[in-house]
Amino acid sequence: MQLRRLITIAVIAVCFLACKDDNSAEEAYKKEVAEIAEEENILEFGFNLKDYEFKRDTIKKGDTFGVILERNNIGYPKIYQIAEKTKDTFDIRKLQVGKPYTLLFPKEDINDSIKKPTTFIYQKNLEDYVVIDFKDSVQSYTSRKPITYIEKTATGIIENNISETLENKGISQKLAYIMADDIYAWTIDFRRLQPGDRFKVIYTDKYIDDSIYAGVHNVKAAYFEHNGDSLYAFEFKTDSIKNIVDYFSEDAKNLRRAFLKMPVKFGRLSSRYNLKRRIAYYGYKVRPHKGTDFAAPIGTPIMATANGTVTESRRRGGNGKYVKIRHNDTYSTQYLHMKAQNVKKGQFVKQGDIIGWVGMTGNSGGPHVCYRFWKNGKQVDPFKQKLPEAKPISDSLKVKYLEYIKPIKQQLDNIFFLEADGIEPENTITEDPITDIQ
């Protein structure tokens, strides 16, 4: 049985490593954890499932809390009582289509002709869940699955691209995204990596319930050799209140710019800023385009291109649903035609935070985000601006930073590439047995 469990856990890891997005990861998670629970009766949600008969499903279109319970032999008076007593803890009207839920049935009722559940468990995401227990008195509470973080190190030698290098070793593709988008976006063009370029990285993997792989949590430090340059990067929190984390070089230089190049990761530039634009539909009259359009499928996440405070999150006229962010006294950005916003006025957002999703609201001929860039109150072309570097580390923090990275740099330097020892160069991964449990 133990061997079977180990094999099953390995299958879970493979499923997650193969996933390229959060939705597929969640589907793999739900499927595999259900199979383990059914085969081995594991402890989950604070319940020993061997003591129950249980039923797993996902919220379907048209499902409500009442519909689900009524379908499982709970009468309306009881449903009303449960809803009234739990409304201060969880709003049962907010069940989302596609989210998983579990019903627990007492084993003593298994032989009864009419089985009734005594517990409803709703999973908000991979970690957080709500328990509504109505066996005797009604109670509800939210909780989180135990999270374990394991620090790992890896090395790789580029043959074609970094994604292929990591995939060949079975390492999550998210590590490639972090290195390309978060760490080295302004110092290395990952589309032009050369065979023989190589890297070392110290990162943390995240596990749910100790064994379910949930992807890369963060990168602590990295080293990249590219075009003859040796590029170190160290993660460091510069603002504990706003939880701002940046990557800096070994001499404390910030590796990023104040603004991302574009507000979507996977999109194409479809229309540039053009004050002399003429459109046939309007008789070739000049109709200035003061934004920069990025075409992307509906639902594509839109990111804040820099840290700032949301000054508008609303719907208005041809702009459709949009968000405007004030970054400082000089710069603001605006994101138009959203399917939906993900932030509210007055909220502080960090560079890369998802502020909404691509849509077609307002005057839009197709799914895209119109990105508008304001400098000193005037809309300008972001591609023609000499954008500032990200905020440098303060003098008071610089001393602390240099002291902080000393042991990390030593750890990084002590990770050797295999070809240096005369061994056939392969991509390697090592795991630190020390874990940090949240």
Strand partners of residue 49: none
The full set of domain ranges for the chain reads 41-144, 149-256+392-437, 268-384
In which element (H, E) is residue 32 found? Answer: helix 22-40
pLDDT of residue 437: 44
Would you tell me which CATH number, out of the four given (3.10.450.350, 3.40.640.10, 2.60.40.420, 3.30.429.10), belongs to the domain 149-256+392-437?
A: 3.10.450.350
250 φ, ψ to 5°? -65, -20
Is the pLDDT score of 114 beyond 90? no
pLDDT of residue 396: 86
Tell me what the mean pLDDT of segment 261-278 comes to: 77
pLDDT of residue 224: 94
CATH 2.70.70.10 fits 268-384, yes or no: yes
Is the pLDDT score of 10 beyond 80? no
18 φ, ψ to 5°? -80, -15
Strand partners of residue 278: 286
| Tens-digit pLDDT profile for residues 289-303 | 788 899 999 999 999
User: Would you place residue 210 in the very low, low, confident or very high pLDDT band (cuts 50, 70, 90)?
Assistant: confident
Strand partners of residue 154: 201, 429
Strand partners of residue 376: none
Distance of alpha carbon 63 from alpha carbon 353, whole angstroms: 31
User: Would you place residue 59 in the very low, low, confident or very high pLDDT band (cuts 50, 70, 90)?
Assistant: very high
318 φ, ψ to 5°? -70, -15
Tell me what the mean pLDDT of segment 348-362 comes to: 93
CATH 3.10.450.350 fits 41-144, yes or no: yes
Query: Which residue bears the tokens 């227990």?
Result: 133
Do 41-144 and 149-256+392-437 fold alike per CATH? yes
Strand partners of residue 40: none
Is the pLDDT score of 282 beyond 80? no
Summary mean pLDDT of the chain: 82
